[in-house]
Amino acid sequence: MQRKKKPKKLGVVVMTPRSVEEVEALVRKKLLWKLGAAGLGACRRIVNEALGDLPGRFPHSTQVREYMMEEGRLRRLLNALGE
């Protein structure tokens, strides 16, 4: 009679993020180590593009505070990614 083997636990599968929210989730959950160099580069590119799009998202002078808060958040995220 054969013994039944226990199924192996599969690790968390991390796919390359496609949005700033997904990058934030990876940083928050501390799963960046599962990404390769290409995945980290994609994360940096996503955040840099979001930083470049900020002036278009907050074009009015009444939105300075929101702009500064969003810029600070994205800069902290970029620092967490190692740049």
DSSP annotation string for the chain: -PPPPPPPPPPPP-PPP-SHHHHHHHHHTT-GGGS-HHHHHHHHHHHHHHHHHHHHHS-SGGGHHHHHHHHHHHHHHHHHTT-
At 64, list the tokens.
Answer: 């300075």
Question: Domain containing 52: what range?
Answer: 20-80
* pLDDT for residue 82: 86
* pLDDT for residue 56: 94
pTM (predicted TM-score): 0.80
Instruction: Decide if 37 is inside a domain.
Output: yes
- Tell me the mean pLDDT in the region 65-75: 96
Instruction: Decide if 9 is inside a domain.
Output: no
Instruction: Decide if 62 is inside a domain.
Output: yes
- Cα separation, 4 vs 72, in Å, equals 54
Instruction: Decide if 52 is inside a domain.
Output: yes
Instruction: Decide if 44 is inside a domain.
Output: yes
16-62 pLDDT, tens digit each:
899 999 999 999 999 988 888 999 999 999 999 999 999 999 999 99
Instruction: Decide if 5 is inside a domain.
Output: no
Q: For residues 41, 23, 55 and 48, what is the CA-based torsion angle, rounded to 10 degrees?
A: -10
Question: Quick one: pLDDT band at residue 65, thresholds 50, 70, 90?
Answer: very high
* pLDDT for residue 12: 62
- Cα separation, 46 vs 52, in Å, equals 10
Instruction: Decide if 14 is inside a domain.
Output: no
